[in-house]
Amino acid sequence: MMVWLLLLQNIKICLLFALLSSFFLLSSVLGWECIFISWAHKGLSFIGWRELGLQDGYWIYHLSNRLNFKVDYAKGTHLQRYVK
């Protein structure tokens, strides 16, 4: 019984990785750049996209100063990045 539970758990993990891999592969084929920012103290912080026709001044994300990195807004299709 334990073997089946472990096998089922491994299958779930493999399916999750396959789903994530296909998602990021599809996004790269379509020409989108996924911005994935996570921080140990904050948990999963932000998932955003580039080149989706974002308008000037569109607020995307402002990361904590603890990381010394922030992404403020998209100008056209280019994200403005500031590093301290």
For residues 40 and 71, membership in a common domain is answered with: yes
Confidence of residue 28 (pLDDT cuts 50, 70, 90): low
**Given this model, what pLDDT does residue 21 score?**
72
For residues 7 and 39, membership in a common domain is answered with: no
For residues 39 and 66, membership in a common domain is answered with: yes
Q: Is the predicted pLDDT of residue 17 greater than 70, yes or no?
A: yes
Report pLDDT digits (tens) over 33-83: 444 443 333 443 344 444 344 433 333 444 333 344 444 444 433 444 444
Around 69, how many Cα atoms within 13 Å sit in the side-chain half-sphere? Answer: 5
For residues 59 and 37, membership in a common domain is answered with: yes
**Given this model, what pLDDT does residue 63 score?**
38
Q: Domain of 41?
A: 32-84
> How far, in Å, CA of 10 to CA of 3, rounded?
11
> How far, in Å, CA of 17 to CA of 54, rounded?
29
> How far, in Å, CA of 21 to CA of 24, rounded?
5
For residues 81 and 40, membership in a common domain is answered with: yes
Q: How far is CA 51 from CA 13, 37, 60, 65, in A?
A: 31, 17, 13, 26
